[in-house]
Amino acid sequence: MTPDIDDVLEDAHVVDLPLRVPFRGLVSREAMLFRGPFGWTEFSPFVEYDDEESSRWLRAAVEFGWQETPPIRRDFIRVNATIPAIPAELVESILAGFPGVRTAKVKVGAGGTSIDDDVARVAEVRRLLGPEGRIRVDANGVWNLDEAEHAVHAFAPYDLEYLEQPCESVEELTELRRRIAYLDISVAADEGLRKSDDLDTVEVLDSADLVIVKAAPLGGIRNALSLIERIGLPAVVSSALDTSVGLSMGAHLAAAIPELAYDCGLGTGALLAADVSREPLLPHDGGIDVRRVEVDPELLATWTANPERTDWWIARLRRCLELLD
């Protein structure tokens, strides 16, 4: 169902939450929160996304707020630490926010950093996690084929669990997998999957060993579950630097997947310097709980975005609701 705009706006709030360290070029994270019959939900596509792509995020938010979630198979989700593109000497302080984790996802290939910086960051994570720790690196599709192949060789001594979206296109991922097959390093598809124009027909079997899925960009928990079943590859549920409300949506997706072989990227609440709940979804004992989150009015008031940004989000919401209709 598509709710009436007045029902959504009745309890809608736009927040601007500071980050502990810069991430994806951001120093804070904007999100719109509103409440449906089944609880709080979140609409937070990144500001550069167009209305067509953002409408998937709104569909997910409406589903989470206006429908019951699918039955869950687990009530605790093991998560990875997320290490932004920071100097190696800052890695330990970020890892401290993820108590008990055994896995770390390291951002690489960011503008303003070199492959040497990336290798130093990965090496420090390996030192801190020890030989039993699991390391995955995420390039967000920034490399061409040759750059990706060179990077894989540079990271190989640190025993990668997998390489996430090293190149942008499905065709490039397919060729990269062919080139590095002898190294036995898995490749995961993220943007190459969820940014497809047609999620019902996208195929990644030849280009990836596993897929990264996010509830909001894929149009909701049910759409994501259907996509995972159709593709037939192992899935890792991740987040998009969400508030605890958005992380709750991701946790319910992870909890509903029949088989969850990998730790999930749902611990990113540890990267926020503030949140919207007095009981935020933060990592503990290596994971997060599967539960709905109650929003605190005082925190909403403290972190309310300025009127100009609030008006911008309301206008975006109206446009995206029209697309849902």
Q: Give the catalytic positions in this structure.
A: 107, 214
Please check if 164 is assigned to a binding site: yes
Please check if 190 is assigned to a binding site: yes
CB neighbours of residue 260 within 10 Å: 18
Please check if 138 is assigned to a binding site: yes
Question: Cα dist. 279→31, 101, 165, 295 in Å?
Answer: 18, 20, 33, 9
Q: Which residues pair with 236 in a beta bridge?
A: 212
Kindly report the CA angle at 225 between 317 and 2, in degrees rounded to 5? 30
Q: Which amino acid does the sequence have at 27?
A: V
Binding residues for Mg(2+): 138, 164, 190
Binding-site residue ranges: 138, 164, 190
